[in-house]
């Protein structure tokens, strides 16, 4: 079993650390933010991730959290799990990565494992920086993470694949061996290819979402139901069912950022990545389409009350980064609407200025002219819609995630609009048909 030091107690660092401890390794997770480490040591998780607390608790004897750099670097493998946010130019800010490299003391013998999402070519730069510091006994391996928030523990312990891109075969073997307890194929590549796999995978998934969103928008015009269309497409094994769920656009800390990274990386290297421009633009427009739908039903939104149900960028997370809800709220306020909102977990108090946050869905819905389903939390899909109707001023629901039963809503007397489900197509739906839910 290996001794692993993890730099960065963020999302990737905590989940990877806990899961590597679960596999039997001894792990030290280090972060510069003292409060974060104190909370972790007190048994409190700074992120909301279903199932993670149990894995952390179960492996307490093999999992330590510290602010001390010495305890982290004194290990066989050093995992880099720090943030790489975009700079003003949109490129990845690698400052935190360089800090980790500077913290490695002379004479260290270890393997540096890059988990953070970085531009292609970073491995080469890090290798050169290590060599320049005389750290020739520090190997370098790119082992990108494919953890989705909300399912991260499962994504780690039941990975679809493990990608290992190494300069030195023995270093790659050591990283591969860490994952011996997992039943997942290991793909050995060169370093730039491993870096590209991560960016390409996220960009492709985002492309599928923008594609199905555009199909949905056309469905509305031609009288088709995108739920049926997506199902019919997904059953083709060459296409598959995942990431064909239409909605009000993708968000989160990964897709928007990584797609821009890849677009810029291509541009900086002399290639104009046209498709990604469209993927980004479609996504931006998709977030705003709800406003047009509301106007179709309510006319001018000035003085109208709109309740946003769900704020997190997707269910099972409290993450509001790049959440479509934020753009939507800002657009509605700009149209002169009064906006209220509720999310079962995410705390938007510091973020959504001018938005009245309800303590419950019904509180947010009180007096509203429209309810907009922004995030497909089960609590929202299963809401007491009859109760909702009784507190609303106007009975209108815009289902931005196609999770409600149109017949039920209509039976209750709501005007119902969704994404890619033309009125004509909805009226032909069998009564029992439930909207598709993806298991991802
Ligand atoms: C994503 C990837 O799924 C992970 O594999 C990757 O490791 C991670 O980014 C990362 O780079 O760290 P995540 O951002 O947590 O994970 O979320 P996803 O579940 O992939 O969803 C992203 C966005 O797409 C959400 O806003 C979601 O609502 C939207 N989405 C997803 C759709 O609109 N339709 C779909 O069919 C699927």
Rounded Cα–Cα distance for residues 148 and 152 (Å): 5
Helix (H), strand (E), coil (C) string for 129-175: HHHHCCCCCEEEEECCCCCCCCCHHHHHHCCCCEEEEECCHHHHHHH
Q: What does the pLDDT read at residue 439? A: 47
Query: pLDDT > 70: what percent of the chain?
Result: 96
Residue 277: pLDDT above 90? Answer: yes
Backbone torsions φ then ψ of 210, nearest 5 degrees: -65, -35
61-80 tens-digit pLDDT = 999 999 999 999 999 999 99
Rounded Cα–Cα distance for residues 183 and 220 (Å): 43
Distance 265 CA to ligand 1 centre (A): 21
Catalytically annotated residues = 254
Q: What does the pLDDT average to over 398-420?
A: 95
Q: What does the pLDDT read at residue 351? A: 83
Residue 352: pLDDT above 90? Answer: no
Whether residue 244 contacts residue 214, with contact meaning beta carbons closer than 8 Å, is answered with: no
Q: Ligand 1 pocket check: which of 143, 201, 205, 403 to mutate, most ligand atoms within 8 Å of Cβ?
A: 205
Angle formed at CA 29 by CA 25 and CA 35, multiple of 5 degrees? 150
Q: What does the pLDDT read at residue 434? A: 54
Residue 276: pLDDT above 70? Answer: yes
Distance 165 CA to ligand 1 centre (A): 23
2-32 tens-digit pLDDT = 999 999 999 999 999 999 999 999 999 999 9
Distance 13 CA to ligand 1 centre (A): 18
Nearest CA to ligand 1 atom 23: 250
Please list, in sequence order, all residues whose beta carbon lies within 8 angstroms of the beta carbon of residue 437, skipping any fewer than 6 positions away: 376, 403
Distance 148 CA to ligand 1 centre (A): 6
- Closest atom, ligand 1, to C-alpha of 375: 28
Whether residue 258 contacts residue 203, with contact meaning beta carbons closer than 8 Å, is answered with: yes
Nearest CA to ligand 1 atom 2: 148
Q: Is 321 exposed, middle or buried (0-12, 13-18, 19+ CB in 10 A)?
A: middle
What is the pTM for the complete model shown?
A: 0.94
109-143 tens-digit pLDDT = 999 999 999 999 999 999 999 999 999 999 999 99
User: Residues lining ligand 1, judged by CB closer than 6 Å?
Assistant: 117, 145-149, 202, 205, 209, 243-245, 247, 250-252, 254-255, 258, 313-314, 438
- Closest atom, ligand 1, to C-alpha of 209: 34
């Amino acid at each position: 079993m290996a001794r692993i030091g993890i730099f960065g107690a963020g999302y990737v660092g905590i989940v990877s650390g806990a899961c590597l401890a679960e596999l039997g390794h001894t792990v030290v997770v280090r972060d510069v933010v003292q409060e974060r480490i104190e909370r972790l040591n007190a048994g409190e998780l700074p992120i909301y991730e279903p199932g993670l607390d149990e894995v952390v608790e179960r492996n307490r004897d093999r999992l330590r959290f510290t602010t001390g750099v010495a305890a982290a670097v004194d290990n066989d493998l050093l995992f880099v799990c720090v943030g790489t946010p975009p700079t003003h130019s949109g490129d990845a800010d690698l400052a935190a990565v360089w800090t980790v490299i500077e913290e490695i003391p002379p004479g260290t013998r270890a393997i540096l494992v890059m988990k953070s999402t970085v531009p292609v070519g970073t491995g080469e730069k890090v290798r050169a920086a290590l060599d320049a510091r005389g750290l020739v006994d520090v190997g370098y391996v790119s082992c990108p993470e494919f953890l989705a928030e909300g399912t991260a523990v499962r994504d780690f312990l039941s990975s679809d694949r493990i990608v290992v891109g190494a300069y030195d075969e023995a270093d790659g073997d050591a990283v591969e061996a860490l994952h011996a307890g997992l039943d997942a194929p290991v793909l050995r590549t060169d370093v730039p290819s491993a870096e590209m796999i991560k960016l390409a995978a996220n960009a492709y998934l985002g492309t599928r979402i923008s594609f199905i969103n555009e199909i949905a928008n056309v469905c509305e015009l031609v009288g088709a139901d995108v739920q049926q269309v997506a199902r019919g497409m997904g059953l083709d094994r060459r296409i598959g069912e995942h990431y064909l769920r239409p909605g009000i656009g993708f968000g989160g800390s990964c897709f928007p950022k990584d797609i821009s990274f890849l677009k810029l990386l291509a541009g900086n290297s002399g290639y104009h990545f046209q498709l990604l421009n469209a993927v980004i633009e479609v996504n931006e427009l998709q977030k705003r389409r709800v406003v047009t739908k509301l106007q179709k039903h309510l006319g001018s939104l000035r003085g109208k009350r709109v309740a946003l149900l769900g704020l997190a960028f997707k269910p099972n997370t409290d993450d509001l980064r790049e959440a479509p809800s934020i753009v939507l709220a800002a657009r509605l306020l700009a149209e002169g609407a009064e906006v209220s909102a509720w999310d079962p977990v995410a705390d938007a108090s510091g973020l959504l200025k001018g938005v009245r946050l309800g303590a419950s869905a019904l509180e947010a819905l009180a007096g509203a002219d429209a309810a907009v389903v922004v995030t497909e939390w089960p609590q929202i899909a299963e809401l007491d819609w009859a109760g909702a109707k009784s507190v609303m001023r106007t009975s209108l629901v815009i289902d931005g995630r196609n999770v409600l039963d149109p017949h039920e809503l209509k039976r209750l007397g709501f005007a119902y609009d969704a994404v890619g489900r033309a009125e004509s197509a909805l009226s032909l739906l069998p009564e029992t048909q439930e909207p598709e839910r993806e298991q991802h």
